[in-house]
Structure 1
Amino acid sequence: MSLIVQKFGGTSVADVEKIRAAARKAIRAQRQGHRVVMVVSAMGKNTDRLLELASDVSENPPAREMDMLLSTGEQVSVALVAMAIEALGSQAISLTGGQIGMQTDSSFSKARIKSISTERIERLLDEGNIVVAAGFQGIDNDLNITTLGRGGSDTTAVALAAVLKADACEIYTDVDGVYTTDPRLLPEARRVDVISYDEMLELASLGASVMHNRSIEFAKKFGVPIHVRSSFSDTEGTMIVAEQESATASVCGAALTPDEARLTVLGVPDVPGKSLEIFAAIAEEKIAVDMVVQNVGDGGKADISFTVQRADLQATLTALQPVVESIGAAGITQDDQVSKISVVGANMVSQPGVASEMFRALAAADVNIQMITTSEIKISALVARDQSSLALRAVHEAFKLHEKPDDSKSWSQIKADRDGVEMQTLVSRLRDDALEALTLTGISVLDDQARVTLSGVPDRPGIAAEVFEKIGAAGISVDMIVQGVDGNEHTTSISFTVDNDQLNQSLSVAKTLVESYGLRGTSGEPGIAKVTVSGIGLRSHTHVATLLFETLAASEINVEMISTSELQVNAVIKSESADQAKQGLEKVFAASLR
């Protein structure tokens, strides 16, 4: 008999009628022949009320007691849902996180799942029950109640689907699927039928609130199909699976991350180990760093810019102050009035010109770009917050995201293609203490590369579009792009990598750009390599970038450029050090490689 996990968020169980509606969905699925596990969040606004009570009692409540308090919200919900199922004539039993056997570490408020014991759930299912499990919570080795942090009920649901080998995990929420962007910001946003794990991971990390990235990490690792559906209608919704909707569309979605803060550490000595000291201090505070740009050193100094969530700005500054002094940097600048605009698409890696198309769309809207980072499936640009809505609309229109691609596939078509084919997952078997461990898919080196840098680029709208349109017109294929602050209030620097055999042609185009736009200058360097660590959980496991920098520094390998994404951490180094870097990283990350 097939098994389905159904997750209902807080808005889906916000009152008695919605609780009854959720109960009816579970009963209907059971009567269709499925075994059903429900994962339920706290009733809407319940958690906010508990937080208010805690703040009324204590200015700084202990983390353990906060988890004890907040876990009660889900316990109220699961009991009421089980009662509703019984009242409607079916059999149900509610369980807390501890009762479903969810073992976590002891990181209160942001615990990670170590293992899940399924014996009790399976026995109760065999007895004909609908199992109603509390999301968001577990227990540690000392039987303390722990909570999983933001999106914890999503994570619970997909983790249970993984260990129970469920046929699907249905996420019921107040929207009817995944959209090309937030429909509350752009009414013309289109609901997509299918989206790939990789695309959804990037969009979730960018703030697409319909799913949390930790739950997508589980789904990708264990091959769990996720079905995002509306709690209030029978709309088909969106399937999140390994395949993407279209084989030709370069971009599947656009996202706005509104509350960002940019920090730039100025005048960092351009020698091995300095990046390590900066990011190790931030990782120690469990602060997630997003866009990272290290400009090419000038006069033995480099500027390192990165973004964090606006709420983490002061904690980041506090962590960095002693480091800035110890490494001999010139100081720190900051800006908390910025937002990030990103486009995501699994097909962009094979389609040149996507970056310049995005930059041209922003230029046409008179939006200035402050920072750029790229990866294989994502391009992000940092813009002023007061221009962010304009920027989102511009890129959404430019890539025609409101229109369904001509070759789009539905889930039923993809499912038919899958029939008789064994689906490969990253993790072939489940191990205790490994459920939410870092999973790396590879450490690779792209060699025979060259780097080109434009310095003193005017900080005005359109410049990035003009630069990369001219480069593209010359037939030059660009891999990695970074743009960041260069220490001057009115200029930036843009660096990009190309194949070695295109360096001279790239420098020729760069020199015309210097003359045309009055840039400070250009430089190029042959014989570089891009070292890439790829995997799942790179953002939430904040030590990954630290270990990369630590490994390179221990071998006296200097980092010239950096870029990051949800799926990759990239560092540009000299080619002569590439093999040594790869071997060192494979040794350090051996336990996490799959």
Structure 2
Amino acid sequence: MSLIVQKFGGTSVADVEKIRAAARKAIRAQRQGNRVVMVVSAMGKNTDRLLELAAEVGPNPPAREMDMLLSTGEQVSVALVAMAIHELGSEAVSLTGGQIGMQTDSSFSKARIRSINTERINRLLDDGKIVVAAGFQGIDNDLNITTLGRGGSDTTAVALAAVLKADSCEIYTDVDGVYTTDPRLLPEARRVDVISYDEMLELASLGASVMHNRSIEFAKKFGVPIHVRSSFSDTEGTMIVTEQESSSAPVSGAAMTPDEARVTVLGVPDVPGKSLQIFSAIAEKKIAVDMVVQNVGDGGKADVSFTVQRKELATTLATLAPVVDAIGAEALTHDDQVSKVSVVGANMVQQAAVASRMFRALAQADVNIHMITTSEIKISALVPRDQAIDALRAVHTAFSLHEKPSDAKSWSEIKADRAAGVEVETLVSRLRDDALEALTLTGISVVEDQARVTLFGVPDRPGIAADMFEKIGAAGISVDMIVQGYNGEEGSTSVSFTVDEDALEPSLKVAKQIAAAHAMRGVQGGGNIAKVTVSGIGLRSHTHVATLLFETLAADEINVQMIGTSELQVTAVIDSEAAVRAKIGLERVFAESLAK
């Protein structure tokens, strides 16, 4: 008998009638021959009301007591849903997070799942009951109630589906699937039938509100198919699986993260260990850093820029103020009037000119680019906040995301491929049962025979990036990593990119032509560099990863020339002669996290 986990968000159980509708869906699934586990969020705005009550009592409530308070919202919901199932003629049992055996660490308000004891759930399912589990919560070793943070019910549902080896995990919400971008911002957004775990991980980290990134991490690790569906209709929805919808479309989605802040440490001495001091201080405060750009040093100095959530800016600046003096940097600057616009696509790495196409779309919309970072499946640009919607619309249109790709596959076609013997790899056999949400690395790699080109004094105005990378593409040069950072020069910035070493000379030739055409300050380039990359699941939420990377390199006196980050990778550009030493050191430091 198959097992289905169904998750119902707050809007799906917002009132008694919606609770009855959710109960009917579970009963229907059971009568179709499935064993059913429901995961339920707090009703509607209940959590917001609890937060307001806490604020009325005092401005700084203890984190433990906040978890005790907020967990009550889900306990109300599960009891009412179980009652509704009984009234409709079936049997159900409601369980809190502790009662379903969800063991977490003691990080109140942002706890991580360590293990789930499924004995009680399986016993109830064997007795023919529908299990109604409270999302968002668990217990630590001292039986304290803990909560999993934003999106916690999604994480509960997918984690249960993983350990129960469920056939699928259905996420019922107020939208009917995953869209190419937020349809509330762009009505022309298109619902996709299928999206890959990697694409969804990047989109979730960029603010796509349908699913939380920690839940996608679980799904990717354990190969859990996620079916995002509407609570209010029978629309097919979207499947989140290993495969992607199209094998040719370079971009599958676009996202805009509105509330970003840019922080730059100017004039950092370009010697080993300085990045470590910056990012270890931030990691100690559990601040998640996103776009990280360390551009090539000029005159023995480098500039390190990164973004944080706008609400974390004050804490970040206070944390870094003493660090700036300690490392001998020149200044600390910031800008809280920026947003991030990104495009994501699993096929991006196989196709040229994706970056220049995005930059040209932004230029035509007269949107200026403050920072650029790229990875194998994502390109992000930091733009002025008041131009963010225009920027999102421009890139969505440029990649025709409103149109279904001609080779798009439906979930039924993908299932047919699987039935025909197409292998789907998961990490499930490689993970320890007592560390379900631990950092999981899929590899540490080194790419040698690389070269780097940097343009200094790049005019800070719309269209420059588009012109640069269109000219580079027209010369037949394939660009890999692109970083544009903020360097404090009035009206200008610097842009670096990496290429294969045998493309260095033609790249420098084109770069000098570009520099002359736009009156840039100069061009610098060099070979004998390598990219060392740490890849895995949970890199951004485990804030110590970048710290360990920099710490390991600094211990071996290896200088970092460039940095690039994404949800799935952290990459550092270093001297080739240090590549093997760096790989050995990182494999030693991350030994416990590497999937065997």
SS for the counterpart of 2:266 is strand
1:491 and 2:479 correspond: no
Partner of 1:375: 375
Q: Does the CA contact (< 8 Å) of 1:205 and 1:213 recur in 2?
A: yes
Secondary structure, aligned partner of 1:590: coil
Match of 1:171 in 2: 171
Matching residue of 2:313: 313
* 1: CA distance, partners of 2:20 / 2:125: 21
Give unmatched runs, 5+ long, in structure 2.
none
Match of 1:482 in 2: 483
Residue 229 (structure 2) aligns with: 229
Whether the 8 Å CA contact 1:456–1:520 is kept in 2: the answer is yes
| Distance (Å, rounded) in 1 between the aligned partners of 2:252 and 2:460 | 29
The residue aligned with 2:570 is: 569
SS in 2 for 1:593: coil
1:567 and 1:427 mapped to 2: Cα distance?
Answer: 18
CA distance in 2, matches of 1:123, 1:583: 47
Residue number in structure 1 paired with 2:180 = 180
Deviation at 1:135, TM superposition (A): 0.1
Contact 1:456 1:486 (C-alpha < 8 Å) held by counterparts: no
- Tell me how far 1:429 sits from its aligned partner: 5.6
- Specify the SS of the correspondent of 1:272: coil
1:58, CA displacement in angstroms? 1.6
**2:429 partner SS:** coil
Structure 1 residues 247 and 574: alpha-carbon distance in aligned structure 2, compared to 1, 3 A threshold: same
Q: Is the 8 A contact 1:292 1:307 kept in 2?
A: yes
Shift of 1:486: 1.9
2:148 paired with 1:148: yes
Tell me how far apart the structure 2 counterparts of residues 542 and 433 of structure 1 sit (CA, whole Å). 21
Amino acid at match of 1:511: K
Matches within 5 A, 1:535-546: 535-546=536-547
AA in 2 matched with 1:362:
L
TM-score calculated relative to the size of structure 1: 0.99
1:340-390: CA deviations, max 9, x gaps? 000000000000100000000000100000000000000000000000000
The corresponding residue for 2:411 is: 411
Q: Does 1:65 align with 2:73?
A: no
Q: Deviations over 1:36-67 (max 9, x none)?
A: 00000000100011011111112111000000
Query: In structure 1, how many angstroms separate the alpha carbons of the residues matched to 2:327 and 2:485?
Result: 21
- How far the C-alpha of 1:457 sits from its partner, in A, is 0.2
> Is 1:352 aligned to residue 352 of structure 2?
yes
Deviation at 1:514, TM superposition (A): 1.3
2:594 corresponds in structure 1 to 593
**Which residue does the alignment assign to 1:527?**
528
Give the structure 2 partner of residue 327 of structure 1.
327
2:357 counterpart letter in structure 1: E
Q: Deviations over 1:287-335 (max 9, x none)?
A: 0000011111111111100000000000101110111110011111100
Distance 1:132 1:9 in 2: 13
Residue type of the partner of 1:63? A
Q: What whole-Å deviation, never above 9, does each CA across 1:102-141 have from its counterpart, x for those lacking one?
A: 0000000000000000000000000010000000000000
Letter in 2 for 1:449: Q
Tell me, in whole angstroms, the C-alpha distance in 2 between the residues paired with 1:302 and 1:424: 41
Judge conservation of contact 2:7–2:171 (CA < 8 Å) in 1.
yes
| Shift in alpha-carbon separation, 1:449–1:430, aligned structure 2, 3 A | closer
Equivalent residue, structure 2, for 1:268: 268
Distance 1:157 1:47 in 2: 18
SS in 2 for 1:471: helix
CA distance in 2, matches of 1:85, 1:239: 27
CA distance in 2, matches of 1:226, 1:26: 16
What displacement does 1:432 show?
A: 3.2
Q: Secondary structure at the match of 2:166?
A: coil
Map of 2:581 onto structure 1: 580
For 1:553, the equivalent position in structure 2 comes to 554
What residue in structure 2 maps to residue 46 of structure 1? 46
- Secondary structure, aligned partner of 2:592: helix
CA contact (8 A) 2:242 2:424 kept: no
Shift of 1:485: 1.1
- After superposition, the C-alpha distances for 1:510-569 in whole angstroms (9 at most, x for unaligned) are 111111110000000110001000000000000000000000000000000001000000
Instruction: Look up the match of 2:138.
Output: 138
Classify the secondary structure of the residue corresponding to 1:352.
coil
Output the CA distance in 1 between the equivalents of 2:545 and 2:432: 22
Query: Equivalent residue for 2:280?
Result: 280
Distance 1:473 1:420 in 2: 42
SS at match of 1:340: strand
Query: 3-state SS of the aligned residue for 1:591?
Result: coil
1:102-141 pair list within 5 angstroms: 102-141=102-141
Could you tell me which residue of structure 1 aligns to residue 437 of structure 2? Answer: 436
- The answer as to whether partners of 1:451 and 1:497 remain within 8 angstroms in 2 is yes
**Amino acid paired to 2:567:** E
Using the TM superposition, give the Cα deviation of residue 420 of structure 1 relative to its aligned residue in structure 2, in angstroms. 5.3
* TM-score normalised by L of structure 2: 0.99
In the TM superposition, what is the alpha-carbon distance from 1:433 to its structure 2 partner?
2.2
Cα-to-partner distance string for 1:199-226 (whole Å, 9 max, x where unaligned): 0000000000000000000000000000
Which amino acid in structure 2 is aligned with residue 406 of structure 1? Answer: S
| Distance in 2, Cα, partners of 1:431 & 1:370 | 42
| Distance (Å, rounded) in 1 between the aligned partners of 2:30 and 2:122 | 15
Which whole-Å deviations, capped at 9, do the CAs of 1:369-425 have from their partners, x for residues lacking one? 000000000000000000000000000000000000000000000001101535321
2:19 is aligned with 1:19: yes
Cα distance between partner residues in 2 of 1:12 and 1:46: 13
1:540 partner SS:
coil
1:21-43 CA-partner distances (Å, limit 9, x unpaired): 00000000000000000000000
Offset of residue 430 of structure 1: 5.3
Q: Give the aligned residue type for 2:439.
A: L
Task: Write the letter of the residue equivalent to 2:491.
Answer: H
Match of 1:33 in 2: 33
Amino acid of the structure 2 residue aligned with 1:349: V
1 CA distance for matches of 2:430 and 2:197?
19
Task: Point out where structure 1 has 5 or more consecutive residues left out of the alignment.
Answer: none
Q: Distance in 1 between matches of 2:288 and 2:415?
A: 36
Aligned mates of 1:144, 1:431 — CA distance in 2: 24
Letter of the 2:74 counterpart: E
Tell me, in whole angstroms, the C-alpha distance in 2 between the residues paired with 1:477 and 1:425: 31
Task: For 1:483 and 1:452, locate their aligned partners in 2 and report how far apart those are by CA, in whole Å.
Answer: 12
Cα distance, 1:467 vs structure 2: 0.2
Contact 1:163/1:430 (<8 A) preserved: no
- Contact 1:450 / 1:498 at 8 angstroms: preserved in 2? yes
Corresponding residue SS for 1:541: coil
Give the whole-Å Cα distance in 2 for the aligned partners of 1:440 and 1:430.
11
